[in-house]
């Protein structure tokens, strides 16, 4: 019957094989509980999904298996082989959110120190890295930052973020120092961007990403940072040093605080690691005893 569904839906061979594997897996579970893939009830399907969760299947795998059963039981309904679809009404699995790669404060310092500031390009890169770590700007926000958006006297940057939403973000003395040095060396063009590309356009995100990879490789920083590594470090390090979640949300420009909450997991993981190393009953404390 699965072959017929495959023909009707135009599945590829790979898709058909995946559905077969998932259906056989469900069938094994249902058989152990006195049922099968033709007669399984909503409670039995729910028990099957619960078993996947207990066995640490990824949310994406569970959702794929759930979707396969929905399709299967839907076809049985269409063929008049059963009256209901036992999967409908069951909650869907939310996709697991990946934790951002963590860059500790020592690694950040090494990355910031990597550019050769004696050259204009190195000075520009150092300024960009300093600003990104000091403000938590997205890469796209950083490269599109305009001269008119910086209030040097107040130490405030006006950021135009996602959905053209505006927010004001403070920057500190260190980034102001490098910004001052860069603006002295910055080419005097009609380009409105702080970090100009060729013509009247901004520097590209891809170009800046290549620069980060170059400096990370030169300092042997592992794992290789992502384009938003310094933004992630900005948020995590603020929380590690006592900043409130709400203030970090505002600085990052997150519309929903649940987006910001992912950084609390990184912060807590770091706290647990420190306790393990320092507490008398932790692994580190036991080693010292």
What CA–CA distance (Å, rounded) separates 242 from 14?
Answer: 50
What CA–CA distance (Å, rounded) separates 9 from 4?
Answer: 9
Instruction: Tell me, yes or no, if 152 is annotated catalytic.
Output: no
DSSP assignment of 54-89: HTT--HHHHHHHHHHHHHHHHHHHHTTS-S--TTTT
Instruction: Tell me, yes or no, if 177 is annotated catalytic.
Output: no
> Which one of 65, 124, 186, 254 is the catalytic residue?
254
Element of type H or E holding 178: helix 173-185
Backbone φ, ψ for residue 141 (5° rounding): -70, -35
Q: CB atoms < 10 A from the CB of 108, how many?
A: 19
Instruction: Tell me, yes or no, if 228 is annotated catalytic.
Output: yes
| Chain length of the chain | 289
> Which one of 162, 177, 214, 272 is the catalytic residue?
162
**Taking CA 211 as the corner, what is the angle to CA 210 and CA 217, rounded to the nearest 5 degrees?**
90
> Which one of 126, 186, 228, 232 is the catalytic residue?
228
Q: CB atoms < 10 A from the CB of 156, how many?
A: 15
What CA–CA distance (Å, rounded) separates 177 from 183?
Answer: 10
What CA–CA distance (Å, rounded) separates 275 from 238?
Answer: 19
Instruction: Tell me, yes or no, if 162 is annotated catalytic.
Output: yes
> Which one of 19, 133, 215, 263 is the catalytic residue?
263
> Which one of 65, 126, 138, 149 is the catalytic residue?
138
> Which one of 66, 186, 231, 237 is the catalytic residue?
231
What CA–CA distance (Å, rounded) separates 214 from 248?
Answer: 29
Active site members? 138, 162, 228, 231, 254, 263
């Amino acid at each position: 019957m699965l072959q017929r569904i495959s023909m009707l839906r135009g599945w590829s061979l790979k898709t058909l094989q995946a559905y077969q594997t998932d259906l056989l897996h469900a069938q094994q579970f249902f058989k152990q509980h006195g049922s099968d893939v033709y007669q399984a009830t909503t409670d039995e399907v729910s028990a099957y999904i619960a078993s996947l969760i207990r066995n640490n299947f990824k949310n994406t795998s569970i959702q794929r298996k759930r979707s396969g059963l929905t399709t299967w039981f839907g076809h049985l309904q269409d063929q008049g082989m059963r009256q209901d679809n036992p999967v409908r009404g069951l909650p869907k699995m939310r996709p697991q959110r990946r934790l951002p790669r963590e860059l500790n404060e020592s690694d950040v310092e090494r990355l910031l120190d990597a550019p050769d500031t004696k050259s204009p390009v190195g000075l520009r890169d150092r300024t960009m890295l300093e600003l990104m770590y000091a403000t938590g700007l997205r890469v796209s926000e950083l490269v599109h930052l305009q001269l008119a958006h910086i209030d040097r006297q107040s130490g405030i940057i006006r950021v135009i973020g996602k959905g053209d939403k505006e927010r004001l973000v403070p920057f500190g003395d260190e980034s102001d120092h490098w910004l001052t040095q860069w603006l002295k060396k910055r080419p005097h063009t009609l380009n409105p961007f702080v970090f100009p590309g060729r013509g009247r356009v901004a520097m590209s995100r891809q170009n800046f990403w290549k620069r980060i990879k170059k400096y990370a490789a030169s300092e042997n920083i592992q794992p290789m940072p992502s384009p938003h590594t310094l933004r992630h470090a900005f948020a995590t390090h603020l929380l590690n040093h006592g900043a409130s979640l709400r203030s970090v949300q505002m600085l990052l420009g997150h519309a929903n605080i649940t987006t910001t909450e992912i950084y609390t997991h990184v912060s807590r993981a770091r706290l647990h690691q420190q306790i393990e190393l320092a507490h008398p009953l932790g692994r580190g404390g036991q080693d010292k005893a």
